[in-house]
Structure 1
Amino acid sequence: MPELPEVETVRRGLVPAMERKRILQADVRRPDLRWPLPERMAERLTGARVERLRRRSKYILADLDIGETLIIHLGMSGRMTVSGLAEAYVPGEFHHAHPLTLKHDHVVFDMEGGARVTFNDARRFGAMDLIDTARAEEHPLLAALGPEPLGNAFNADLLAARLKGRKGPIKALLLDQKLVAGLGNIYVCEALHRAGIHPERAGGRIGRARIELLAVTIRQVLQEAIEAGGSSLRDYRQADGELGYFQHTFRAYDREGAPCPTAGCDGTIRRIVQGGRSTYFCPRCQR
């Protein structure tokens, strides 16, 4: 499932096509994705202007001038792609034809300026909903989320306070969206490896110095992944259809049996299962 860097990369790719642009036509081609789509969704979106595109955890939020916010979750296989964007910025030129609509293109937005934004989801685990912008943070998908790991509020003090007294393994705690929003399996594995913390160590037994290192490392890993366009392992694509590239710099994730890349470490990356998910780590340098 796309994690914070992938969702943020998609959001940034959508900004030139959607932000401060009007939805000239919304084509909703089925009544549901993971859950039923909002009533009269096409009617409510057609003619609305996207004032701002933002991200909360793994969700894209489009604030509209009609006082509603469109909440978008990509799910496991969802993609949002843009066509016709380059031509929209060349005065006097005709737009090239958009790609033919495919079987799993479930929602299509024709935007002011000529761009088309298509939501494609073969497995239909994605979701969309509309809610009053003033109450968006109260939505069931957003209300219980913890702080953003790239936000100003996230630091060692906050992380230490949230881990204090916790007996669960640090890997599972960091995946808890109530503790920190947006972290997923890939980037937790990478951050713990860089910080030298064993994924099974109890969260409340991690010393202050390593919590400070972990807080910094989480932010660094996420920022580097965003700069690389995220990680493409299966279905994920950027908004322009390109793959992400961060998977080529993984230090631990999906590297079972490979030498640990930490300088001076002669360990080998291992895989264990925690909470039904694969965890990759070095048993020699992660304590």
Structure 2
Amino acid sequence: MPELPEVEGVVRALAPAASGRTIRRVAISDTVIRSKEAGKEAIVKGLSVDEFARQLAGCTIDRIERRSKYIYIHLLKEGDCLLLVSHLGMTGAWFAVSGIEDIHEQKFRNHIHAVFEMEDGGLLVYSDIRRFGELRLLGCAEDYPPLGQMAPEPFDDGAEEYFLAKAGSAAYSKKPIKEVIMDGRVISGCGNIYATEALFRTRIHPKRAAGRVSAARKLQLFREIVDVLQESIRAGGSSISDYRNINGEAGTMQDRLRMYGRKTCPACGSETASVQIAGRTSTYCKKCQH
């Protein structure tokens, strides 16, 4: 699943390619339409497909930013503001192209679910192989309460103090520290990949209860999370599975990961182990992490 660095990479490429452009019309895939007709909420959330497309037609993209693992596309229409919120799920990808044929990988062309035709003739395309992503059109972020529950950005002033207070609270004391740092209400944008890396860097066992991690080690852990997120942003994110930026380019952080997906520990050379935590596979070293 794309985490903060991967979403940041998409936003940095999408913003200059899309800002200032006006949407002529939106076409939604038959797969999504059939899903909605069956009472499911595949990709287009909260609105019918027709209403989603109707409201977006004529909108101008004002600016695009990232909030945690979400893409916020700020829109203007006849003096009103709208917000298109995009979550990439497991395999979501955006493309800014002249035509569908410019999307080079067949797997993305096979799973296009939203095509935004622009007034200038170009396209913004959302593809999602597994359809776990979402497109949600709102008046503002406050219209969807879960967005208001997200922790501060990890790079913001006050995020460190917020993290220490949340992670040190009774509500999280018995939970595995790995589960705690993947909780977006505690720290924004840290998923399985970078939680695994930060825990290895601090030599903390992923199943250790948060209440048994000292405040000093929690502080070290927070700072390692920030460092590994920043390192990954510089590397263009981790293209472990289906992550691509809007140009179809892969990141390189996967080549720098020391524990995630590794069979042997780079520190001691012993075989790594794995355990399921919060539904995710956590790789760790039994000798180095306690």
Do the two structures share a fold, i.e. TM-score over 0.5? Answer: yes
Displacement of 1:113? 5.1
Structure 1's unaligned 5+ residue stretches are 85-96
Partner Cα separation in structure 2 for residue 130 and residue 167 of structure 1: 37
Structure 2's unaligned 5+ residue stretches are 37-41, 104-108
Describe the SS at the equivalent of 1:124: coil
Q: How many percent identity over aligned positions?
A: 39
Describe the SS at the equivalent of 2:89: coil
After superposition, residues 197-208 of structure 1 pair within 5 angstroms as 197-208=204-215
Describe the SS at the equivalent of 1:204: helix
Partner Cα separation in structure 1 for residue 44 and residue 83 of structure 2: 17
Partner Cα separation in structure 2 for residue 49 and residue 160 of structure 1: 40
Describe the SS at the equivalent of 2:159: coil
Aligned to 1:87: none
Deviations 1:221-244 (A, max 9, x none): 111111212111222111100112
After superposition, residues 134-213 of structure 1 pair within 5 angstroms as 136-155=141-160, 157-164=161-168, 165=170, 166-213=173-220
Describe the SS at the equivalent of 1:241: coil
Aligned to 2:47: 38
TM-score normalised by length of structure 1: 0.85
Aligned to 1:23: 23
Partner Cα separation in structure 2 for residue 137 and residue 205 of structure 1: 35
Aligned to 1:64: 75
Displacement of 1:201? 1.5
Greater percentage in helix:
2
TM-score normalised by length of structure 2: 0.84
Describe the SS at the equivalent of 2:72: strand
Displacement of 1:145? 1.9
Aligned pairs, number: 268
Contact kept in structure 1, 2:18 and 2:96, CA below 8 Å: no
Distance of aligned partners of 1:98 and 1:267 in 2 relative to their CA distance in 1, 3 Å threshold:
closer
Contact kept in structure 2, 1:14 and 1:82, CA below 8 Å: yes
Contact kept in structure 1, 2:115 and 2:126, CA below 8 Å: yes
Contact kept in structure 1, 2:15 and 2:65, CA below 8 Å: no
Aligned to 2:283: 280
Q: Does 2:17 align with 1:9?
A: no
Distance of aligned partners of 1:139 and 1:37 in 2 relative to their CA distance in 1, 3 Å threshold:
closer
Partner Cα separation in structure 2 for residue 172 and residue 51 of structure 1: 36
